């Protein structure tokens, strides 16, 4: 994988970890909205669990194999979001919010990977 894509994936992970740290801190500070932040934490944990393959990735991963992995993660994320939107359970709002936040960044990462794939095929 080229250094630009490697940095993009690393930035994606850093963003998720930072969001998780923020939600954890806010859950401790804002007791009135603690359940909401707990939902965010659950959503971000789900993303990290699902993206484990990315975290363990080999630097020799090609843009097309990265694109395949990211598309699988995005598909699972879209499915989980649809479940959350239907469920609206105890922590669904915070969880849905976290998943939506990550979905936007994941879409951007997929677009960047598609651009790199098209460059390497030319």
pLDDT at 3: 82
Mean pLDDT per 10-residue section of the chain, whose length is 122 residues:
82 90 91 86 88 69 83 89 74 78 90 84 60
CA dist 103 and 109 (Å) reads 10
pLDDT at 21: 93
Which tokens in the block code for residue 61?
A: 């991963």
Residue 72 near residue 44 (C-beta atoms within 8 A): no
pLDDT at 92: 53
CA dist 14 and 9 (Å) reads 9
pLDDT at 85: 77
Domain extent listing, the chain: 3-121
CA dist 55 and 51 (Å) reads 7
- What pTM, to 2 d.p., does this model score? 0.78
């Amino acid at each position: 994988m080229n250094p630009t894509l490697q940095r993009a994936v690393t930035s994606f992970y850093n963003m998720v970890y930072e969001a998780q740290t923020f939600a954890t801190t806010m859950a401790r500070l804002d007791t009135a909205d603690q359940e909401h932040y707990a939902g965010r934490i659950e959503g971000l944990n789900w993303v990290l669990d699902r993206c484990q393959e990315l975290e363990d990735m080999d630097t020799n991963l090609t843009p097309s194999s990265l694109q395949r992995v990211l598309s699988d993660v995005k598909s699972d994320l879209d499915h989980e979001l649809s479940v959350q939107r239907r469920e609206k359970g105890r922590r669904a709002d915070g969880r849905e919010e976290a998943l939506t936040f990550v979905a936007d960044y994941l879409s951007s990462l997929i677009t960047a990977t598609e651009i790199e794939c098209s460059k390497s095929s030319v």
